[in-house]
Amino acid sequence: KNQVEQSPQSLIILEGKNCTLQCNYTVSPFSNLRWYKQDTGRGPVSLTIMTFSENTKSNGRYTATLDADTKQSSLHITASQLSDSASYICVVTSNDYKLSFGAGTTVTVRA
Amino acid sequence: DGGITQSPKYLFRKEGQNVTLSCEQNLNHDAMYWYRQDPGQGLRLIYYSQIVNDFQKGDIAEGYSVSREKKESFPLTVTSAQKNPTAFYLCASSPVGGGRGYNEQFFGPGTRLTVL
């Protein structure tokens, strides 16, 4: 069964600090991995996408990494801002276009 | 201004009633999807449609029904047969296949359904 596990479930950080979110998956065969940001009460918005051959991708203060051998990904948020408070969802797609969603990590940034 | 709209934003239903959630997109995408989101769980696929007048069941289709009469519209009906319908419902769309390996789904703002 294809699974996507995210950790931690939630975290609180002070404004200006960095944090890293983890995503482990068992999806096979692997096509790509996306990180989405979901603000409370809104739909998810794509942050980054990585295929098998890519091991890092940046989008502003967001940097995602992928280790396809160990089936792990991380999302690093640099110099956090209050607007970074959201849920971050890891989504892995298999070669037959089936998506597997993680439960998300809720990030709260405090002033 | 392209995008996906869902209405209503909040919906309250009495037990035993059917309700229909609206989803419209003007992105000219062929594929549309309905997901259910519950606290502490990943999104779960209810139904999806790759082309007009055709749709397939997802992982949790029981108690739900859909139609795809127009490319732009993919309404979801939550029937009285759905035993636990209180949830956040998300509609999404994508180009068919999205290119090999690139199948980004664009999500609407969601509808929160509460059964009273």
- Do residue B43 and residue A4 have CB atoms under 8 angstroms apart? no
What are the C-alpha distances in Å from A6 to residues A63, A66, A85, A92?
16, 14, 17, 12
**Contact indicator for A96, A32 with CB cutoff of 8 Å:** no
Bigger pLDDT: B103 vs A105: A105
Nearest CA in chain A to B4: A43
Bigger pLDDT: B104 vs B89: B89
Using CA atoms, how far apart are residues B39 and B98, in angstroms rounded to an integer? Answer: 29
Using CA atoms, how far apart are residues A53 and B37, in angstroms rounded to an integer? Answer: 31
A-chain CB neighbours of B97 within 8 Å are 97
User: What pLDDT does A7 receive?
Assistant: 97
How far B40 CA sits from the closest chain A CA (Å)? Answer: 6
Taking the CB of residue B62, how many other CB atoms lie within 10 A of it? 10
How far B16 CA sits from the closest chain A CA (Å)? Answer: 26
pLDDT tens for A14-55 read 999 999 999 999 988 888 999 999 999 999 999 999 988 899
pLDDT tens for A46-84 read 999 998 889 999 999 999 999 999 999 999 999 999 999
User: What pLDDT does B100 receive?
Assistant: 41
Which residues 46-65 of A are in CB contact (within 8 Å) with B? 46, 49, 51
User: What pLDDT does B97 receive?
Assistant: 57
SS3 (DSSP) at A102: coil
Nearest CA in chain A to B45: A99
Per-residue pLDDT band for B99 (boundaries 50, 70, 90) equals very low
- Strand order across the B64-66 sheet: B4-7, B19-25, B76-78, B64-66
Nearest CA in chain A to B105: A46
Q: HSE on the CB side for A53, CA within 13 Å?
A: 1
